[in-house]
Amino acid sequence: MVYGEITVENSTLDDQVLLKSDGMPTYNFANVVDDHLMHITHIIRGSEYLSSNPKYLLLYKAFGWEAPEYIHLPLINGKNPDGTISKLSKRHGAVSFQALLEQGYIPEGIINYIAMLGWSPKSEQEIFTMDELIAQFSVSGIHKSPAVFDYQKLDWVNGKHISMMDPAVFRTLALPFSGMEGTALESKWEKTASLLQSRIGKMSEIPEKTAFLHELPDYSTELFINKKNKSTLETSAAILKKAANTLSTVDDWSEEVLLDTVTGMASEAGLKIGPFTWPIRIALSGLLVTPGGAIDLLYILGKEESLRRITKAIEKI
């Protein structure tokens, strides 16, 4: 049903051995009888078994039985470090569903990606729910040539499914990866999870993205320098001193109050919120890229830790 009609000359086939010397049937013989007795209508397997099909069909014909429909699927290859392609194996990474789950992929993402290996829908759609896959799948869309397992593509597809998850379900599944369970930060997990959900390709990326919340990494003051925001070490120091003085007087450490307070400071300094919060975000995270902005990080870290990190940044500069 995939490769079309294939003709093989009988003269190229060896005589089949049906029974072994001990009287036990060979696999090829038992396989045909077993499938017939179980009323198998379709056989789906890898294209490497195409060469054995003539033997099966001759047996069905000899018995006078109706042969099942055959669907031979293209192989899945892996990409080697040197760029060459070979049959997928453990050296290419995870090759089982369970191993992919352990790497932080979710079932919906894995199924969606694997369904697209060697099959194409009749549309440009790439992200499917299970019901959509069932509705759109057709054998006619199966490719003849091998597919290549691409982990970057899997990350993208899986990330789309993570972003589509119910936020409450995501929070439950992602919490064990965050390291925030049982810590003071757990009370801010709902906010942290909302920042992470659209920013990860798999759950196992969460520890790296939340590590700075647990411990401020050692960082270079060069991060404070940013041409786009006209940020220098001098302007950063001034902003951080103003932030430390003003934020130390804030009692209600809510997102709303923090936003109003920081917006007010930016306005007093004659700056837009982006350039003003650049050095604050760097001071709080020690990173160039973070999930969330300065207001988010202030809220998650809390007053005491935020002021400690801002003071440390002033000392660094």
Q: Rounded CA gap, 93 and 80, in Å?
A: 10
Q: Rounded CA gap, 159 and 109, in Å?
A: 8
132-141 CB contacts, 8 Å cutoff, 24+ apart: 139/1, 139/2, 139/71
Q: Is 228 exposed, middle or buried, given 0-12, 13-18 or 19+ CB atoms closer than 10 A?
A: exposed
* HSE-up of residue 234 (Cα within 13 Å, Cβ side): 1
SS3 19: strand
The per-residue DSSP string of 60-109 comes to HHHHTPPPPEEEEEPPEEEE-TTS-EEE--GGGS--SHHHHHHTT--HHH
Q: Rounded CA gap, 311 and 308, in Å?
A: 5
Q: What is the CA radius of gyration of the chain?
A: 30
Phi, psi of 52 (to 5 degrees): -90, -5
**Cβ-proximal residues to 127 (8 Å cutoff; 6+ apart), any chain:** 112, 157, 160, 161, 164
Six-digit token string for 188: 């801010």
Active-site entry in 61, 87, 90, 272: 90
The per-residue DSSP string of 188-246 comes to GHHHHHHHHTTT-SSGGGHHHHHHHHHSPPP--GGGG-BTTTTB-HHHHHHHHHHHHHH
78-82 CB contacts, 8 Å cutoff, 24+ apart: 78/148, 78/149, 79/148, 79/149, 79/150
90 is catalytic: yes
Report which residue type is found at 248. Answer: S
Active site residues: 90
